[in-house]
Structure 1
Amino acid sequence: MTPTPMRNTAVTADDGVRLWASRSGRGTPGTTPLVLCHGGPGLWDMFEDVAGMLDSRAPVVRWDQRGGGRSEPCAGPWTTERFVADLDAVRRHFALERIVLLGHSWGASLALSYALAHPDRVAALVYVSGTGIGPNADWHGAFEENSLARLGEDPQRLARWRELPGESRERAVLQWSVEFVNRNRAIEHAERMADPWFPINFPCNKALNAEAKHTAGTSALYAACQALDLPVLIVDGERDIRPRSAVDSLERALPQVRRVTLPDAGHLPWVEDPHGFRDAVITAMHS
């Protein structure tokens, strides 16, 4: 697939913080642009391959969230409300009236929060490898247990992971390797996630994860999702080490929802089933 030239730019949020963003592709006239929200929190955009899959079908916008990657270093604030406002600044910068919004992992939660806050600006939501809207207890303990079990398949790798400092690139690669079903290629895939490498924003990660513990499972969140009047596609890798049953809470709440589960994929389904992932997203973009 021939890559489409990217146009990198700086988006200024309403509090003056500068955010890195990139636009590629054109699509056909009248195609709704696709905006991608990366995971984390505290990481950066890793969606180059996804943009390459889809930017022949629609304009695709990627961005680095506040305080991470190529965006300006800053002291926050680290709240979902602030990140929703940043995402809207990205939308306005590119003069996008309505968007198809795709979020992965933490980015799926951010994309859902944006759709709940601004449903008139979202044509469709693609929720990839999220963890639902129930309490953290629905998934987090099993995720940690499964993560250690995957690392423990290679005792030397587990021991090395334990001795490395938290900010180490090598430690992140070992940690991210657990996300892939194909264990022979897991390190290769994780190395690609870490190229380019930027410092992980741990204060951001800690603050947003703490916020999520308070909002997940609340009656207000369930009610808001039940009232969300736009089409939502949930995409799961069946072999994600986060229990997919956690996402059932969101699926039950949404009035317009379709779910695609890719059987041979883990947490990054576009890596391990690119054709299945692309087909599912294109269907959502044109529904």
Structure 2
Amino acid sequence: MSFTSANVRLSDGAMIHARVLGMEDKHKPLLIALHGAPGLSSHTEPEVSYAFLGDRFRVLVYDSRGSGGSDLKGPYTDERWIADVDEMRAWAGAETFVLAGGSYGGFISLGYALAFPNRLSALILRDVWACGPRAVLRALSFILTSPRIKPDPSRQVRLWSGNVRDKEDGEKALAEILTIYSPPEKDEQEIAGADGFEGASQEMHWETHNSAFSFSSPRFDVRDRLGEIETPTLVVVGRHDPITPVEEAVEIAGSIANSELVIFEGSGHNPPADEPEAFQEAVVKFFVKLGM
């Protein structure tokens, strides 16, 4: 089985570049997987991470607006990205579906679960936080004190506050910290630029990133609403993830009643890439338990 490409026109005219596995098999339930890092990442990471589920689901991945091959048409806000998820669901012809989100895609997934609770049959949250302001400061603190890297402090403040000056500024800021997205034992391995960052798109759109981290992230705080989520939820996290660390995942799993937490001891920010077999086993076990 292989993914096929599709261009989806949303209600406001934005064109979304999507990739679909098994779309013709309408009897299969739908799974939508969201990438992280608006403007910097693309569908590539979730496509690789969830292709193994092609025998169980129709798997839909796409570049969010302002990312990858999709239109650079705002607004670049969580509310708009959440609405886009539901339009993609409708385009795929599913009344209910499984939503999987990693990193920033997990923030959007939490927002969707609260806005459209009756649409979800299951939720997968990979390396996610529930409070943007606290988590950004925690990540920045780690970055500026980690012995593994020596970044420029002012440049990192611009990156994490959504004030990147230009393409060169952003690329330098990202290159400085790529190493810490992987577990410590991978320090000596070559990380080839953007290829080490969550399936990054070849062309990064810093306006999208700046909007997400200057407007949406400071306002994102769903801690007091996590208890409203009744959807069966799998929360996964890498033990060595400094960006969305284990304590963030523990908080989320502890607040969602119908949830389970899996910690991957050999992973950083992306367990599907760091421990693919263990990740796939955990996901399949979750779905078997749900009878899916």
Asked if Structure 1 and Structure 2 have the same fold, meaning a TM-score greater than 0.5 normalized by the shorter chain, the answer is yes
Residue 142 of structure 1: which of 120, 138, 145 is its match? 138
Deviations 1:143-164 (A, max 9, x none): 22333455x5366xx58xx7x9
Give the distance between the partners of 2:65 and 2:259, measured in 1 at CA.
Answer: 30
Are 1:126 and 1:234, in contact at CA under 8 Å, matched by a contact in 2? yes
> How far has the Cα of 1:80 moved from its partner?
1.3
- 1:256 is matched with 258
Give the distance between the partners of 1:119 and 1:129, measured in 2 at CA.
Answer: 21
Structure 1 residue 35 corresponds to structure 2 residue 39: no
- 1:80 is matched with 78
Taking the TM superposition and a 5 Å limit, the aligned residue runs for 1:113-124 are 113-124=111-122
- 1:204 is matched with 208
Describe the SS at the equivalent of 2:280. helix
Structure 1's 154 and 175: CA in aligned 2 closer, same or farther, altered over 3 A? Answer: closer
Structure 1's 225 and 175: CA in aligned 2 closer, same or farther, altered over 3 A? Answer: same
- 2:164 is matched with none
Give the residue type in structure 2 aligned to 1:268: N
- 1:153 is matched with 148
Give the distance between the partners of 2:46 and 2:217, measured in 1 at CA.
Answer: 24
Give the root-mean-square deviation of aligned CA atoms.
2.9
Structure 1's 191 and 228: CA in aligned 2 closer, same or farther, altered over 3 A? Answer: closer
- 1:268 is matched with 270
Give the distance between the partners of 2:201 and 2:230, measured in 1 at CA.
Answer: 38
Taking the TM superposition and a 5 Å limit, the aligned residue runs for 1:91-130 are 91-130=89-128
Are 1:270 and 1:278, in contact at CA under 8 Å, matched by a contact in 2? yes
Describe the SS at the equivalent of 1:8. strand
Structure 1's 285 and 13: CA in aligned 2 closer, same or farther, altered over 3 A? Answer: farther
Are 1:20 and 1:71, in contact at CA under 8 Å, matched by a contact in 2? yes
Give the residue type in structure 1 aligned to 2:208: C
Are 1:26 and 1:56, in contact at CA under 8 Å, matched by a contact in 2? no
Give the distance between the partners of 1:186 and 1:234, measured in 2 at CA.
Answer: 29
Deviations 1:193-228 (A, max 9, x none): 487743323232233223232231xxxx34532122
Are 2:18 and 2:63, in contact at CA under 8 Å, matched by a contact in 1? yes
Give the distance between the partners of 1:226 and 1:53, measured in 2 at CA.
Answer: 31
Residue 282 of structure 1: which of 274, 281, 284 is its match? 284
Residue 180 of structure 1: which of 179, 182, 193 is its match? 182
Give the distance between the partners of 2:193 and 2:52, measured in 1 at CA.
Answer: 17
Structure 1's 28 and 259: CA in aligned 2 closer, same or farther, altered over 3 A? Answer: farther
Deviations 1:264-286 (A, max 9, x none): 10001111110111112222334
> How far has the Cα of 1:174 moved from its partner?
4.6
Are 1:27 and 1:58, in contact at CA under 8 Å, matched by a contact in 2? no
Deviations 1:72-127 (A, max 9, x none): 122x1122111111111111111122111100001001011111111111110000
What TM-score comes out, normalization by structure 2 length? 0.82
Unpaired runs of at least 5, structure 2? 156-166
Describe the SS at the equivalent of 2:94. coil
Give the distance between the partners of 2:25 and 2:287, measured in 1 at CA.
Answer: 12
Give the distance between the partners of 1:27 and 1:12, measured in 2 at CA.
Answer: 19
Give the residue type in structure 1 aligned to 2:106: A
Structure 1's 114 and 5: CA in aligned 2 closer, same or farther, altered over 3 A? Answer: same
Taking the TM superposition and a 5 Å limit, the aligned residue runs for 1:216-227 are 216=221, 221-227=222-228
**Matched residue count:** 272
